[in-house]
Each structure stands twice: as structure tokens, then as C-alpha cells.
Structure 1
């Protein structure tokens, strides 16, 4: 009962948050269609890219929402890349379909594959149509695995099956991009599940060594067992992703500046064209050099500059065997300022390049409403309503285990909504109307008072 109560609380809080915000797509400049990694994920995570940061206007990225099919906002929250909820899942479930195994006598296959594929390559339906009665007795231990919506490199597949007395079955692996032409992969898998004297030997993995489905014409995998007389009921297929093993590397933006010297002060100013969460800074000059720098930033031309890092020495030495360059400087947090300024402690002949590093953030959203979903950003008149997404995901992880992560979703090609019009503040006609009513009321009262005074003086 307590668990049900908690779930109802979170759903109620989500619904209230959603009801409190009325989203109009015309309030946003651009949208990105979202491709879901799986249909039944419930909660999803999408990593932002440079095009989103260049469109957002708000320093806290509040002008960023996720919309459902009916253009209604769904509960969403922004997470830093180091947050546990923002990290990609180590393993994800992928769609699979059981197929008849190959006949042991080497005879004809006896069946043909009939499939229905969406425009994005996702398998909707797979049917093994029997063409030879002898094929009806074949165990359905071969598998067709749909990895068309996986964008990350796949390290391995992990098969799951119902309990059985003993299993020792080899699989060969083939890849296809169209379900017609199949290429064998240089890998094999062996599914082992044996028990003796209270001990269990279990092996579920098929190594794929970083297979990239989108770039290696491998959107579909066919797993064929070595023989058809081994009964096994497959219950699930998981894909282990390579990104889960490595830390997120920073991405870099290189800015060209303009000289802004003031007397003896050597300075260069730069403008950043987006709300990037800048965490690192570096300076580059051509040739060998060693210059001490200070870096400042601000978000408006009328506010004072703030020191972000420095002084530090940036250098580069090109020499056989002993060359090197200075490391990037950490800023101590995310800085989304538009304007940046470098100060040098000595004369610099050429304008330096300022390199700003950031790690993309993640938006986690609840699949409320109906698909397809889209990410919308860029507005001077609308903001995202706060939603208790972190609490919801934490509760789901408590229920399903600490390794549970939201399913992946991926940004599509940007499409315009209101464009530049959404970046202009809305005309506040309500305030003007209120002031007009107040002024009119004051004039009416003044006129009434004047008429009373005039009547008294006449009397």
C-alpha cells in the first residue's frame, strides 16, 4: 500500500505540474523530433547537442521543453553530465523475434521471412511463413534482433532464457541493413547453462566488439543456432553499450576574437553564440609561445566583468622529443555567459583563439501523452514548468535497481516553429490594459468630484 501511495503521489505531482503550464508551440523558435530507443521506455533521456544550445536564450535553459503529439508539454528536467541519471545505460533491451532453426539434415529452409518495417527502419512485425510442412516441427531458437534504433556502439548481446535442465548451444551471427542481404560477422556466441553438484556454469554473451549499427550496415542481426534439437525459450535480448564504459569527453568551441586594448592593457573580446555549459578554457596561438592570461566573462554588456580563471600561463613548445603544450583550465562550474575577455601580461602580435570546453547535458522526460515527441527550444516569452522528474526517477531506480536508467532518445533534424518571432518578448497588453483602466477610473472619479464641487459653488 505504501508503494502504491508513493506512485500515486508522483503521478499526481506530475499531472499538477503539467496542468500548471500551457505550452504554445508558437512560443518556441525551433523543434527537434525525437526518436525513441524503445516504445515502452516510460522515461527517456536525450543528450543535447550544439544546435540546441545555440537556440536557447535563457541562462538556466528554462526555454527548453519536450512536447507530445498534441504539442502539450510533458514533465521534463535538465541533468548535468556527471549526474548519475544523465549517464547512459550500460545495457538496453532491444526488440527481437523468434525464427525457426536450420534443419539438421541440411535440407531446404522450408520457410520465408515476412516483415513490416517503419520508415525509420524499426521492425513492426515479423512472421516466418512456412513453405514446407517439414519446417513446422523446427524449434524457434533462431533470433532476428532489431538494433536499428541504437546509435551507440554495441559491445555485446546478452541473451536471457527460461530455466532449463542443460544448455550448450553455439550461435553464428549475421548482419543486414535491409533484411534481404546478410553478411556473416567474424564472431560467434555460445550459450551455456549447466549445473552440477550445486554449482552453475552460465554464459549469455555474444561479443560484438563495438558494432555500430548505423554505420556498418548492421541494423538487424540474425542469430542462428548450430543445431535445431536443443530446446531453449528465449525471453529477452539486451545490448551492452560501449559508451557506458568511458567517461564523457568534453566538446570544444573555438572562438576568434577582436582586440580590445585599453592603454597598456592587452585584451581580446569574444562572443559565444549559445548557452553552452562551459567548464574548460584554453588559449591557442601559432608557433612557440608562453603568455600569462586572465579570463573574464559576463552575460550583458552593461554589467561588470567577472574573473573566471587565471592568471595562468598558456604555452606551446615545438621541439623534437621535448615539445608540449599547457593543459586547459577548469572554471570551477558551468558558465553560460555570452561575452568573454582575455587579458595578456605582455604584448601579443596576433589575436589568440579562445577554446571553450563543455560536456553536453541531458534532458530526462516522462512519456506522457502520445508519441511522437519533440524537443522545443528558444523563447523569450515561455519557460518550462518545474516537474519532480528527479524524484520520480529515483523512485523507479529504487523499485527496479540502481542500474536502472531512462531509455535513450535521440535528436532528429531541427525544424522551425515560430523562428525569430519567438525570440522577441511578447507585447504585455494586459499591463497596458490595466493601466488604461486605472487611468480611466481616476479620470471618472476626478470628473465626479469636480461636478460635485461645481454644484456646491452654484448653490
Structure 2
């Protein structure tokens, strides 16, 4: 009950805090069409989740026509394909290219050199592996790894991408897979995000203990989609913690496209569960769908072996880690591996709760920090002249009424719209406590101690009803005797 009341209070405060405002729009180029990136702070300023109160005004304060810029969409379902694996010998340095036993076929496939048999499996797992992904055309979504043996732990790795096996670029320098068993339960994570990569070849380097790979399967789209561009909030400590969990209050209606959870202390591993309140949260309008790639990556979100509590909804479950990878021979004194970015589906929530498996002491004396990544929403507007333009919001009597892109550009897209920009007030984080620190010692309801304004509102309502009843009764008594005949 307390969590639901706190959620309603947060939403009420967010609605009260949203007031009408304006900000100047800077333009570059000649137009007449301009593309404006609206920062995520607009969700806390607007009075409507769908942002349909936005307006663009010219120098005479007349509204300008505008439309939401089209967003990429996945035309097909993801495909899965096994990748050929090639262990690289330790003596083959990254800058030395391919070893002599490997050649490239006419179609781009990686093959063992003719006349030379495939080398036997080494006595110890290879530290570097070459993965042939030339057949997985389009956009690479994720890589699923299988390995031999029953090793347990967190195994950090780095991924690189190349199109010619000569020039390599970083792809995912802080990835990891893991396998943990305890008290009859297992936690297995073998998937690595590929961040919408488009590459013919991948190179995997184990940063800690190497594993002997037996299979690698890539999930990809048979089309090219760009990765979402995110804007991040500053890392924040939790608003409150107890023995089992920490809770963060979030800016109102801010879409959650990605999260960064960073542990404060090195060489720390914690099994956690991230959830949001079950009470309805302010959702974005019908235009605000999650990014196509994030939706595909997390179409099974919320399914886990652990049953969620009845008062919340699971967002993510996994392992947080911060591992020191320094060795005696390491030349990089600050090399670490951390939990990578968690991609979400663009939902909006008033708060997030990070629950430890047993106790928050599992992540040390200092709790983790949380940063929220939200992709920038873009709109296109048509300017009448070179005069100043302002972005306005918060007026319920003057809705923005965006057009469809085909309506805004009836002649089709004539080139690329010129860039425009706007600066908005910073995101506002609610300061309201989300949960009581502890149950009251007496048998009184916790709601009364933490929500006094609810009782004040109830008392005021009762007084108003009593006054109305007394006024009605008095008027009835003072009526003439024959009034009722």
C-alpha cells in the first residue's frame, strides 16, 4: 500500500511541476525544413505523455507545421546462424595478421590452409579466437557462446570487428559471460551484445581466465539498422536503501532505453534483480515505441526463474560485477571490467528498485550508482522565414497537433533537413521518499505516518461535506410551512 501511495504521489508532483514554458531554437543552413533533436528533459516539462502539447512558434508567435521524424523499424524477425570458430595461437600477435594456417576463400569465408589439417585443440584454451561472420549479413544483434568444461565464475572478454582481417575496430571492449551455481540454483549468461554491428569478421579476446569455445551463434537482422543514440543522466546514488534493496526515484515520464549500474568497490560480484512498481506509470504516447533493436534484444524481458513480488514488475535480472584485470605483466594500471549497458524497451517508470539476493552488503559499504540512457526524439519542422523560432510546451489550450511526415513533406523528401538545436532545463529528479524506512513500532498504519497530507485532505473533505449538510438542513427548517404542500 505504501509503495502505491508513493507512486501516486510522485505522479501528482510530476503533473504539478509541469508548467508552460518556451526555449529558443537555433538553426543552421537554409532550410526550409529543419530537424530538431528534442532532449529527454522534455518529458518532465510536457503536460502530456504523448508530447502533443509541443508547438513551434515563429517571430509573430504563429504555429509552424511539424512532424515526428520517422524511426527505424525491423522489417523481419531476427535470424540465427552458427559461426565457424578458429582458435588463434598465442604467438600470433594481433598486429601480425592471420597465422599461416588460415586463408580466406573467394567468397570471404575463413578456411584452414589447403594441405594443412586443422590444428588439434590446444592443451590449454586459446586466449584469442577468430569468428567468421561474413555469412550473417545485415545487422548483428548478439552473440551466444558455448564452451567446454564446467568452469564457474565471470569471464570478461573483448570483441573487435573487421571487414578485411587487417584493420580492427573495438566492438564491445567490456563484455563478459558467466556461469554460477549455488544452493542448487544456476545463473548462466552466455549472450554478448553486438551493438548493431555490421562486420564480416569478429575477434574475441579473453581478458581473464580463457574458456575453450565449442560453438558461437550470432543473432542478426537481414537489414541494416543504426544503433540508437542515447543521452545519459549523471550517475546517481540511490535515494534510500534497506537490508535487501536500494531504490532510485526517476524523472517523470522519462523513457528508459538503457541503464548503467556501477558498483563502487572493485572486485565485487553481486546477483541482483531490478524491478519497477506495479502501479500504472505514465507511459509515452503511441509514437513513442522502443527502438527496434532494443525491442528485439529484450522481447523476452521479465521472464526469469524467480517469481516477482506481487507489488512490482521485474525489469532485469543478472549479475553486477567490477573486476580488476591488472596482472603483474599488465601495462595498463587501470584496466577493469564492469557490467555492460543494460538495454531496455523504452518504458517509463517513477522508480527502480535494485534487490540483492540476500543483503545489500554483497556489493560493499557503498551502494551502486545508476545512470539512465534515453534516446533523443527528433522532429522536423517547416520554417516560413529566417526569423527566430521557439519551442513551446505546457499550454493545454494550444496543442501541437503534429502532422504525419507525408503531410509535412507532400513533395517527398527534398534532401536532408538542416540541423536545429534547443537547450532545455535539466532533468528534475523527485526527492520524495518512495518507501518507509521501517515499519512503525506500534500497530498504527504506516500510511498515516508517511502521508499526512492524505489525512489532511480527507479531513478537509469531511468538513466540507458537513458544512453542505448543515446548510441544507438550515434552509429546510427556514422554509415556509406551506412550501411542501
TM-score band w.r.t. shorter chain = 0.3 to 0.5
TM-score by length of 2: 0.40
Q: TM-score if structure 1 supplies the norm length?
A: 0.42
Determine which structure has more spread, i.e. the larger CA radius of gyration.
1
